[in-house]
Amino acid sequence: MKLNLVPARTGILWVKLGMRTFFKQPLALAGLFFMFMAVMTVASQLPYIGLAIAMTLLPAATLGLMAATREASNGRFPMPTMLLSGFRAGHLKARAMLILGGLYATGFLAAMAVSWLVDGGDFARVYLGGATPTREMMLDPAFQGAMWVFIGLHMPLSLLFWHAPALVYWHDVPPLKGLFFSLVACLRNFWAYAIFGVMWLAVLVLVVIAVTTIAALLGNGSVAAELLFPALLLVATMFFSSLYFTFRDTFEPPPETAP
């Protein structure tokens, strides 16, 4: 396994590849992403332990979407079973995926708990969908402080897990080493990942502007509400499709014989 250093402009290429691959198999990839969201939502609704279970499944589910993107980029139709790729490659890899999931769930819940201490849980309830934000709440310094605390803690967590599931799955790297290599890869290629993030943010803003503009031209505000959610889900699907290419170009690509 070799770490590649890529130029900053590669971040733009990753965004393009994610979009291009999505349009090769739009129904399949969108369907898999909706299944992914449904599983996460249902799991999170379980009393007491739902959020922990959902977060534990997240690394393996993300790996499944990356595997599906790989299939689509190679001209093959990704089947729904691709979402279970991390658990279908033998008990050792399944165990490693569960270890990664447990570590991610622990980190996520710890970050959320710290934010809870800042504002008494207002941000956590809004973030987890248990409360509707109000203007007064959003302007509350405690709420804003909790939000930035969570973002500050979740950012390094995201970098640790960015490539870890793929390294475990395709390169047989132990979970803890996968976390370390993932963080190093993201930091060594900082500008490429920064541009990647900025580009996706720009795409998100453009989609919101386009949808609201269409609604304004039609003189029907409800159109924006009806179109915005599915449009954002499609953007999210393209984003997850682009994650495979960040891994493929940062490390040695998986061999064709790999699952």
Q: What is the pLDDT of residues 205-217, one digit of tens each?
A: 999 898 888 878 7
The rounded distance, in Å, linking the Cα atoms of 252 and 170 is 10
In the structure encoding, which two tokens stand for residue 179, read together?
A: 């976390």
Of residues 215 and 249, which shows the higher confidence score? 249
pLDDT digits (tens, 9 = 90+) for 62-114: 999 999 999 999 999 999 999 999 999 889 999 999 999 999 999 999 999 99
Confidence of residue 221 (pLDDT cuts 50, 70, 90): low
User: Dihedrals φ, ψ of 42, to 5°?
Assistant: -65, -45
Q: What is the pLDDT of residue 158?
A: 96
Q: How far is CA 180 from CA 183, 185, 187, 196, in A?
A: 5, 9, 11, 21
Q: What is the pLDDT of residue 217?
A: 79
Note if the pTM is more than 0.85.
Answer: yes
Confidence of residue 257 (pLDDT cuts 50, 70, 90): low
Q: What is the pLDDT of residue 21?
A: 96
Paired strand residues for 240 = none
- Residues near 195 by beta carbon (within 8 Å), at least 6 away in sequence: 8, 9, 11, 12
Of residues 2 and 178, which shows the higher confidence score? 178
Q: What is the pLDDT of residue 256?
A: 65
2: left (phi over 0), alpha (psi -120 to 50) or beta: beta
Longest dimension (CA), the chain: 57
The rounded distance, in Å, linking the Cα atoms of 126 and 115 is 12
- Residues near 77 by beta carbon (within 8 Å), at least 6 away in sequence: 25, 28, 71
